[in-house]
Amino acid sequence: VQPPEKPLQAEEWNRLRESFQSPEVFEEVMFNSMLRCNSPIDVAKSLLTHVAKSNGDIAYNLLVKYLALCVQQGQTSEICDVYDIMKIKFKILEGGAYNLLIRGMSNSDQWRMALTLLEEVKKIMIPSRTNYESCIKAAIRHQEMNLAFELYHEMLAKDVVPTLDVLQAFFDFNRGMKGAELQKELFGILLYLRENQIYPHKTFMRSIKLWFESIPGGNWRGHLTNITDSGQCPVCSHQLEDCDLTEEEYNNLRERIIRDVIHGTDTFRKTSPQEFEAFQTFVENRLPFDIVIDGLNVSHIKPRKMHCENLFDAVNCLAKENARLLVLGRKHMLSNSSNWKREIMKEMQNKAHFFFAENISEDDAFLLYATLRSGKHCKFVTRDFLRDHKACLSDTLTRHLFRKWQRGHQIAKSEKVFLSVSIQQPALPYDCVVQTTGDTWHIPYKDTFEEKYSYQVPRKWLCIQQKL
């Protein structure tokens, strides 16, 4: 339905309503299309008047739709009126109406009203991130920084994830401001990005850069750059943090892999206690390895070639560097078949250590264990993203640790290019997070707003240094 352009009389509405195929939902449909076409508010008012006069009441959902129209057009006084009516008519409102009211109020000069509404929402549920976003932005816009930060911390305390827009607003509106407290808070936001491995997008990055450069007397200078493969910043020649975990994090991760990934709810689901014990003694007796290879995964790299040939190429290529290799496989690889030739398997076993798991066991879990047990220098080779294993880890902190460790230790393509077409980057020697040394900041950023696979890390960086 096309909404009319001018307010209509009651009879005209009646006529329209009767010509509509299902008159029961006529008002709803009409309001929806008004919202879509952004019709003038007077048209909506005339419809409401018509409904009110014929029914003596207006249903809640129609009021909400009208409210949405008012918010869309920024009609503050109307929003207030609707709120008054709703307030007397209903004891409480639901989330949708509150969302609209908060959004509408926060953009007006009555933005403090939005804060009282937020308090009301808190009584019945946890406010959504957009509720907080509106309130914080309103507070920032009116230079009430303390209030804004208070709300921001409250939001974090409630485990509500802030939108990037809010974080960006903090940087945008504090340009040129002075104050140690303020600086600390904004650095806190950057550290929040670091802890949660969030990468700002390009415009956000620009806001950060401009804010740094505008600090009075700060002498900060920002440059956009690409970090070299070795992890050195070409601008300030600072070496970035490496991917290595601390001793404690490392042990923690290993414990969690054993507990959550290998054992999980039932050890028998992925392996069996006997097999795992056998594997543990096998690894202990031959430590440490330099590279652990997922045999079955590597053997499927080139589909035209025989499976064992692929594996043979990989092992040969990696063995040249005098590395201690461990290849994980399954027992069926030992039975002489068209894909697995016994002679080749024999020859490979001279160059590397082999462990064959049961055919129904999962070898990936063993791969992780063996690599982690060998120490920080040990890498592993597989094209698998290991997402399902990461998903077994129960808390986000350990998942972040796992991601970080995986970035530094997984090889899907060696420098010698034995695996033709690569799927993933080679293991990076540096860690890809927001980082600081006090007088420098390095911030990775995404080029576009969305496009990024979770396994890819940005290659572009913002380097900020302080010249004293």
Partner 1 sequence: MQSANLLLKKLLRSSVLPFAAQHGMKKDLFPLSRTLSLSRCLKQDNSCDPSEKLDLDGWKKVMKSGLQEAVSETVSEHKELSTLAAAREILEMWRLAGRLVPENISEEQLKTYIECPSKSAKKKYLKYLYLRELYKRNNKRKTDGKRERKLESQEEASKSDETKRNSLVCLWANSMDRAYSWRLAQSMIFGQPLVFDMSYEREMSAREVANTVRQLVLSEGCNRRSVDPFHIHFCNFKDNSLYHKEFIKHYREAWGRLLITVTDQCYTDVFPKDKLIYLTADSPKVMKTFDHDKVYIVGSMVDKSIKTGCSLARAKRLGLETAALPLEKYLLWHSGAKNLTLDQMMHILLTLKDTGDWKKALEFVPKRKYYGFVNKPVDELKKTLNLINTLKLGKRQEEIRKQFAKNYSKKLTHK
User: Which region among 41-49, 183-191, 240-248, 392-400 touches partner 1 (by CB under 8 A)?
Assistant: 41-49
Q: Which residue in the set 17, 45, 223, 383 belongs to the binding site for partner 1 (CB under 8 A)?
A: 45
Toward partner 1, which CB reaches closer, 38 or 54?
54
SS (H, E, C) 300-323: CCCCCCCHHHHHHHHHHHHHCCCC
Contact between 277 and partner 1 by CB under 8 A: the answer reads no
Q: Provide the β-strand partners of residue 239.
A: 232
Q: Would you count residue 153 as binding partner 1 (CB under 8 A)?
A: no
Beta bridge partners of 460: 226, 445
- DSSP-derived letter for residue 262 is I
CA-wise closest residue to 66 among 140, 3, 142, 131: 3
- Closer Cβ to partner 1, 86 or 397, answer by number: 86
Among 359, 387, 448, 451, binds partner 1 (CB under 8 A): 359
Residues 234-273 contacting partner 1, CB under 8 A: 265-270, 272
Closer to partner 1 at the Cβ: 89 or 153?
89
Stretch that binds partner 1, among 54-62, 147-155, 317-325, 365-373 (CB under 8 A): 54-62
**Shortest distance, position 447 Cβ to partner 1, whole Å:** 20
Query: Other CB atoms closer than 10 Å to residue 251's CB: what's the count?
Result: 12
Tell me if 21 contacts partner 1 by CB under 8 A: no
CA quadruple 73, 79, 81, 85: dihedral, nearest 10: 120
Interface with partner 1, residue 7, by CB under 8 A: yes
For partner 1, which is the closer residue by CB, 5 or 229? 5
Give me the 157-196 binding string for partner 1, x by CB under 8 A, dash otherwise. ----------------------------------------
Q: Is the peptide bond before 288 cis (omega within 30 degrees of 0)?
A: yes
Contacts of residue 82, defined as CB under 8 A and 6 or more positions apart, other chains included, come to 63, 66, 67, 70
Q: How far apart are CA 357 and CA 295, in angstroms?
A: 11
Q: Is 81 in the site for partner 1 (CB under 8 A)?
A: yes
For residue 42, state whether it binds partner 1 (rule: CB under 8 A). yes
User: Does the protein bind partner 1 through residue 337 (CB under 8 A)?
Assistant: no
- Contact with partner 1 (CB under 8 A) among 2, 21, 24, 91: 91
Q: How far is CA 362 from CA 263, 292, 398, in A?
A: 12, 15, 21
Nearest in space to 2 (alpha carbons), one of 41, 30, 42, 40: 30
Nearer to partner 1, 124 or 423 (CB): 124
In terms of Cα–Cα distance, which of 458, 451, 468, 446 is closest to 206?
446
Q: Name the pairing type of β-strands 325-330 and 410-411.
A: unpaired
According to CB under 8 A, which one of 68, 69, 93, 243 is a site residue for partner 1? 93
Residue 203 in tokens: 């415009």
Residue 148 CA: distances (Å) to CA of 100, 153, 173, 456: 20, 9, 11, 33
Binding partner 1 (rule: CB under 8 A), the pick from 15, 33, 57, 456 is 57
- Say whether residue 46 binds partner 1 (CB under 8 A): yes
- Rounded Cα distance between 325 and 315, Å, is 8
Q: How far is the CB of 122 from partner 1 (least distance, A)?
A: 13
- 291-294, strands of its sheet edge to edge: 353-357, 325-330, 291-294, 379-381, 410-411
What is the closest distance, in whole angstroms, from the C-beta atom of residue 265 to partner 1 in the complex? 8
446: which 2 tokens?
């995404």
Going by their DSSP bridges, the two strands 291-294 and 220-226 should be labelled as unpaired
Closest CB 425 distance from partner 1, rounded Å:
26
> Considering the complex, what minimum distance in angstroms separates the CB of residue 220 from partner 1?
39
- The region of 58-66, 146-154, 180-188, 341-349 touching partner 1 under the rule CB under 8 A is 58-66
Least separation, in Å, of the C-beta of 27 and partner 1?
12
Candidate ranges 123-131, 210-218, 408-416, 418-426; the one touching partner 1 (CB under 8 A)? 123-131
Q: How far is the CB of 385 from partner 1 (least distance, A)?
A: 18
Stretch of residues binding partner 1 (CB under 8 A), selected from 14-22, 53-61, 404-412, 417-425: 53-61
Position 49 contacts partner 1 (CB under 8 A): yes
Query: Residue 267, exposed/middle/buried by CB under 10 A (0-12, 13-18, 19+)?
Result: middle
CA dist., res. 358 & res. 275, Å (int) = 8
Please report, as ranges, the residues that interact with partner 1 according to CB under 8 A. Answer: 6-7, 9, 28, 42, 45-46, 48-49, 51-53, 56-61, 64, 77, 81, 84-85, 88-94, 96-97, 124-126, 265-270, 272, 359-360
